[in-house]
């Protein structure tokens, strides 16, 4: 009791009153950018083994910090991190566009498997239209820019698929859907790059395609928005037709429209907006149910006059239309002007948690954690003291798995306590949550995230088991286990088992 009071007192004195709050369900994701080797692989000349080691080390770090998802960029510039029937291998992976990696190495398969071993959802991040990211870009002979140049436009020194050409859209659909079909993805993810950010004194060169395909629209801006709407709607439908459980989410720029442009807009003065500059009518996608989640990039600090963080959290939460809202957190800005407040990260997360319509966060980007920029890791541990389950999406699936059956518990000196259980039938389990409390079953609160001691992936080899190596000597423990499907619907708990450890760790007896 005294310890708890001390914790609360410290929180009050620091202004970090909610730092000990830790919801049982909360998305905690990290963006891993591959374009320009921002996050992974950190250079283009790494061997397959070096790439794998670097990735695994990064995932272990995220798991330790309490994350439960990654957003992995797998198609950065119309080139890929997987063998594709449509686009060449990425230069960011192999050093030269079109160059195949080690014959026995499928990077995407490896990336997914390692994430799932650690209980991390895998969101495959695609950039739909961008085909180059530098002015000196020379495409590979198999790049669509070479084989179908009529689909592309050159703008701001870079190449883009023209979103107004139906054949180009269909080609991009197929390049994305082949991964949905052949890989165990949890989600398809887009960021804010639809039509590109405007370049001063340069018009986006799609006037010819507008003349051909935009006859029904009086203004080119309306036609551009319809092109993006069509892309989002159709891709969402085709993802669900292929695999209904695969989520579709988008992370747009943080402002839809300013209030002085539209009475539905936010009380902001942003110089760029989704609707007017990127031709992304994000509210329409949510209202029509075309996407499963939205992650506005709120990379501004609390109190920023033109686009205030809390103002935008509140605005987006009022326009979810029943879909999930995650907040894009700009932790890469730690230490920069406006981000020198020591508790900026904690204060943002705590504010999110005060709003029941905010379902979690995504952080940009991975290297900020790897480098511990601005002491980020301790800040994250402060707000993520416990594990968390990914929120459910009942509009996709709401049926829970059958409860598992907890069988024998074994232990011996120095080996910890091993739980053994069986699946209830019928089963659709992807993983399990192991709950533990010091005391009796009546004290085991399954809604308290502090009682989740482990997330265990389902083994394909019959009966399941897990060893609690943290069990202390001379302690009463009660354990229960729940099963969760891949959409994180949770079963009723298993039977509870109470044990008492003796003087030596792992030596136990049932109660």
Going from N- to C-terminal start, the domains of the chain cover: 22-383, 405-510
Q: Is the preceding omega at residue 426 within 30 degrees of 0, hence cis?
A: yes
Note whether 403 and 483 are within 8 A (CB).
yes
Kindly report which listed range (102-106, 265-269, 437-441, 491-495) carries the lowest average pLDDT score: 102-106
pLDDT in tens, 271-290: 999 999 999 999 999 999 99
Q: Given this model, what pLDDT does residue 53 score?
A: 98
343-395 per-position pLDDT tens digit: 999 999 999 999 999 999 999 999 999 999 999 999 999 999 999 999 999 99
Look up residue 41 and give its DSSP letter. Answer: S
CATH 2.60.40.10 fits 405-510, yes or no: yes
The yes-or-no answer to whether 22-383 and 405-510 have a common fold is: no
> Phi then psi for 283, rounded to 5 degrees?
-65, -35
What was the pLDDT predicted at 484? 97
Q: Quick count: other Cβ atoms within 10 Å of Cβ 132?
A: 21
What is the mean predicted confidence (pLDDT) over 196-223?
97
Residue 18 has a pLDDT of 38
Q: How confident is the model at residue 11 (pLDDT cuts 50, 70, 90)?
A: very low
Give the pLDDT of residue 102: 81
Sheet of 416-422, strands arranged across? 405-412, 416-422, 464-468
* pTM (predicted TM-score): 0.94
Q: Can you tell me the mean pLDDT for 125-147?
A: 94
Name the pLDDT band for 227 (thresholds 50, 70, 90): very high
Classify 203 as helix, strand or coil.
coil
Please tell me the distance from the alpha carbon of residue 266 to that of residue 260, in angstroms, as a whole number: 9
Q: Number of helices and strands (H, E) in the chain?
A: 13, 19
Distances (CA, A) of 309 to 266, 301, 330, 365, 406: 11, 6, 11, 18, 46
Q: Which pLDDT value is given to residue 45?
A: 87
Least reliable range by pLDDT among 37-51, 94-108, 353-367: 94-108
For residue 169, pLDDT beyond 70: yes
pLDDT band at 21 (very low <50, low <70, confident <90, very high): confident
Query: Are the CB atoms for 121 and 390 separated by under 8 Å?
Result: yes
Residue 503 — very low, low, confident or very high, per pLDDT cuts 50/70/90? low
Looking at residue 409, its pLDDT comes to: 83
3-state secondary structure 93-104: HHCCCCCCCCCC
- Kindly state the tokens that stand for 49: 């083994």
SS3 490: strand
Q: What is the mean pLDDT of residues 16-40?
A: 85
pLDDT score, position 508: 52
Please report which helix (H) or strand (E) contains residue 452, including its range.
strand 452-457
Q: Among 83-97, 281-295, 433-447, 459-473, where is mean pLDDT lowest?
A: 459-473
Confidence band, pLDDT 50/70/90 cuts, at residue 415: confident
pLDDT at 264 over 70: yes
Mean pLDDT (whole number) for 244-252: 98
Q: What is the predicted pLDDT for the residue at 167?
A: 98
- pLDDT, residue 135, reads 83
Residues contacting residue 422 through CB under 8 Å, at least 6 positions apart: 404, 405, 407, 463, 464
How confident is the model over 151-169, as a mean pLDDT? 97
Fold of the domain spanning 22-383 = TIM Barrel (3.20.20)
pLDDT at 412 over 70: no
pLDDT interval class at 15 (50, 70, 90)? very low
Long-range contacts of 14-20 (CB under 8 A, 24+ apart): 14/343, 15/343, 15/347, 16/343, 16/346, 16/347, 16/350, 16/382, 17/350, 18/350, 18/353, 18/354, 19/346, 19/350, 19/382, 19/383, 20/385
Residue 411's pLDDT is 73
Q: Does the pLDDT of residue 17 top 70, yes or no?
A: no
pLDDT at 136 (0 to 100): 84
The mean predicted confidence, pLDDT, of the chain is: 93
Binning pLDDT at 50, 70 and 90, where does residue 150 land? very high
Please, which residues have CB within 8 angstroms of residue 359's CB and are 6 or more apart in sequence? Answer: 25, 26, 27, 293, 324, 325, 326, 391
pLDDT at site 471? 86
Q: What is the rounded CA–CA span in Å between residue 452 and residue 119? A: 13
Residue-wise pLDDT for 487-499, tens only, equals: 999 999 999 999 8
* Predicted local distance difference test score (pLDDT) of residue 475: 86
Between CA 483 and CA 368 the distance in angstroms is 34
């Amino acid at each position: 009791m005294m310890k708890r009071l001390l914790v609360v007192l410290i929180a009050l004195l620091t202004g970090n009153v909610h730092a000990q709050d830790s919801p049982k369900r909360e998305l905690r994701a990290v963006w891993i950018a591959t374009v320009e080797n921002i996050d992974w692989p950190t250079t283009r000349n790494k061997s397959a083994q070096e790439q794998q080691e670097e990735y695994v080390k990064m995932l272990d770090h995220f798991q330790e910090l309490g994350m439960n998802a990654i957003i992995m960029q797998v198609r950065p510039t119309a080139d890929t991190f997987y063998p594709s029937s449509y686009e060449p291998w990425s230069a960011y992976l192999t050093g030269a566009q079109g160059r195949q990696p080690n014959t026995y190495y499928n990077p995407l398969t490896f990336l997914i498997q390692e994430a799932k071993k650690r209980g991390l959802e895998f969101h495959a991040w695609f950039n739909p239209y961008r085909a180059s990211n530098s002015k000196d870009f020379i495409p590979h002979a198999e790049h669509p820019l070479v084989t179908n140049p009529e689909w592309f436009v050159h703008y701001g020194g870079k190449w883009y698929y023209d979103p107004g050409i139906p054949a180009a859209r269909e080609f991009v659909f197929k390049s994305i859907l082949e991964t949905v079909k052949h890989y165990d993805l949890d989600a398809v993810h887009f960021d804010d790059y639809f039509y590109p950010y405007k370049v001063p004194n340069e018009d986006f060169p799609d006037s010819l395609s507008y003349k051909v395909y935009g006859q029904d629209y009086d203004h080119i801006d309306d036609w551009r928005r319809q092109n993006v709407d069509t892309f989002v709607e159709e891709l969402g439908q085709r993802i669900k037709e292929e695999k209904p459980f695969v989520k579709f989410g988008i992370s747009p720029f943080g402002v839809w429209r300013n209030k002085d442009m539209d009475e539905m807009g936010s009380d902001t003065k942003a110089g760029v907006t989704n609707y007017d500059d990127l031709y992304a009518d994000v509210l329409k996608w949510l209202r029509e149910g075309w996407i499963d989640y939205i992650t506005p990039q709120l990379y501004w600090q609390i109190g920023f006059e033109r686009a205030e963080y809390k103002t935008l959290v509140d605005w987006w939460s009022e326009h979810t239309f029943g879909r999930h809202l995650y907040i894009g957190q700009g932790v890469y800005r730690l230490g920069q002007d406006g981000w020198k407040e020591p508790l900026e990260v904690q204060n943002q997360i705590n504010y999110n948690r005060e709003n029941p319509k905010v379902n979690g966060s995504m952080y940009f980007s991975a290297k900020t954690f790897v480098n511990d920029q601005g002491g980020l890791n301790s800040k994250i541990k402060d707000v993520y003291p416990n594990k968390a389950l990914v929120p459910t999406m009942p509009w996709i699936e709401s049926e829970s798995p059958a409860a598992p059956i907890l069988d024998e518990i074994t232990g011996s000196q120095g080996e910890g306590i091993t739980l053994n259980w069986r699946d209830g039938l019928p089963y659709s389990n992807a993983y399990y949550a192991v709950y533990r409390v010091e005391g009796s079953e009546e004290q085991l609160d399954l809604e308290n995230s502090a009682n989740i001691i482990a997330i265990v992936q389902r083994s394909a080899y019959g009966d399941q088991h897990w060893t609690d190596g943290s069990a202390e000597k001379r302690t009463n423990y009660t354990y229960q286990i729940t099963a969760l499907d891949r959409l994180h619907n949770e079963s009723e708990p298993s039977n509870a088992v109470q044990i008492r450890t003796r003087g030596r760790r792992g030596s136990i007896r049932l109660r």
